[in-house]
Amino acid sequence: MKKNLLDLLAAKEGYVSGEDISQELGVSRTAVWKQVRSLRELGYDIDAQPRQGYRLRLRPDRLLPAEIARGLNTGWMGREVVYLEETDSTNEVAKKLAREGAREGTIVVAEHQSRGKGRQGRQWESPPYSGVYFTVILRPSFAPRYAPRATLMAAVAVARGIKRSTGLEVRIKWPNDILLNEGKVVGILTEMSSDMDSIHHLVIGIGININHEIQIPSRYRYPATSLQSELKSPVSRLEVLQRCLEELEKCYDEWVKDGFANLLDEWRAMSHTLGRWVKVNFDEAAVEGTAEDVEEDGSLLLRQKDGSIFRVVAGEVLFPKTAK
């Protein structure tokens, strides 16, 4: 109902009379007034004038389902939206929904995460209304061993989405960070429930720093940045989210239909890591070498000084100042 009233108001530049609305929606004028009030509570600026009626002055800067749906060009991705003002972690909510049977393509969006998660148990800062923090539910039919590709795919899709919505060209730091001018602007955390033959569900959590005014404090090893910091002007969070959802659908459909090779090539082309001398930290050890390639399973191949190849499945990539 709210959506219908919104559509009605949005379709007209000027005022729409309460009488007209009441007739078109088939509800009483009191009901119209109640709907206006609840839209206002969601942040819509609706002007009401005696005898003239109602006029939509401003849409709120909120990632509300009705706002996401408006102008979203997808078939199945993001068509079911669970919207939360605040939550601990959108991945946690999505995992619960997935266990309860949520459809593929369902997304969980939050304006604020109190305990946003990064890789290796780290925190992901999620200040209210500054970024886009969302999780996508997928139910792929491929074997669990291919799950790490989902992270690579998501990085490619988000890179494309950012390019389309802002024009900015990002680089991908293996395996799952997206950088703008060496600053971290996107984090991706893929989680899975599976048995040894098949994946029950995958959730891909994506956090994008959009209108963060300040640099995120330096207690993090890598500086963070935001789309606004790079562009020097605010960015529409909705626009970024919508373009990312569209690209996620395209990438996933392509993967299912044509395999992973093209996506991997695209990942390679946007890689910040390949070709560089890197150091990879494990729990207690470290390995250095030239990042030579990424394999189809997502692992990184390092050419060490002695010419041998070292295969990195998981770890943190650093770029030491002292090359070879």
Site of interaction with its own copies (CB under 8 A): 119-120, 143-145, 147-148, 151, 175-176, 189-198, 200, 297-298, 313-314
DSSP state of 102: P
- SS3 of 78, please? coil
Give the CA count within 13 Å in the CB-facing half-sphere of 250.
Answer: 17
SS3 at position 267: helix
Q: Which CB atom, from 32 or from 156, has the smaller least distance to its own copies?
A: 156
The distance of closest approach from Cβ of residue 112 to its own copies in the complex, given in angstroms and rounded to an integer, is 22
| Amino acid residing at 98 | A
In the numeric block, the tokens 């009626």 are attached to: 53
In the complex, what is the shortest distance from the CB of residue 193 to its own copies, in angstroms, rounded to a whole number? Answer: 5
Check if the beta carbon of residue 116 is closer than 8 Å to that of residue 207: yes
- The smaller minimum CB distance to its own copies, of residues 309 and 314, is found at 314
Smaller CB distance to its own copies: residue 190 or 226? 190
Residue 145 C-beta: closest distance to its own copies, Å: 6
Contact between residue 268 and residue 293 where contact means Cβ atoms under 8 Å apart: yes
42 vs 301 by CB, closer to its own copies: 301
Shorter beta-carbon distance to its own copies: residue 29 or 200: 200
Closest distance of CB 221 from its own copies, Å: 16
CA angle 94, 75, 91 (to 5 degrees): 10
Least Å distance, CB 312 to its own copies, is: 11
- Shortest separation between residue 158's beta carbon and its own copies, angstroms: 16
DSSP per position, 114-164:
SS-B-GGG-B----TTTEEEEEEEE---S-GGGTHHHHHHHHHHHHHHHHH
Nearer to its own copies, 72 or 199 (CB): 199
Length of the chain counted residue by residue: 324
Q: Are 165 and 235 in contact (CB under 8 A)?
A: yes
Side chain identity, residue 269 = A
Compare residues 41 and 195 and give the one whose CB is closer to its own copies. 195
Q: Shortest approach of its own copies to residue 87 CB, angstroms?
A: 17
Rounded to 5°, the CA angle 300-92-210 comes to: 70
Cα–Cα dist 277/308, whole Å: 14
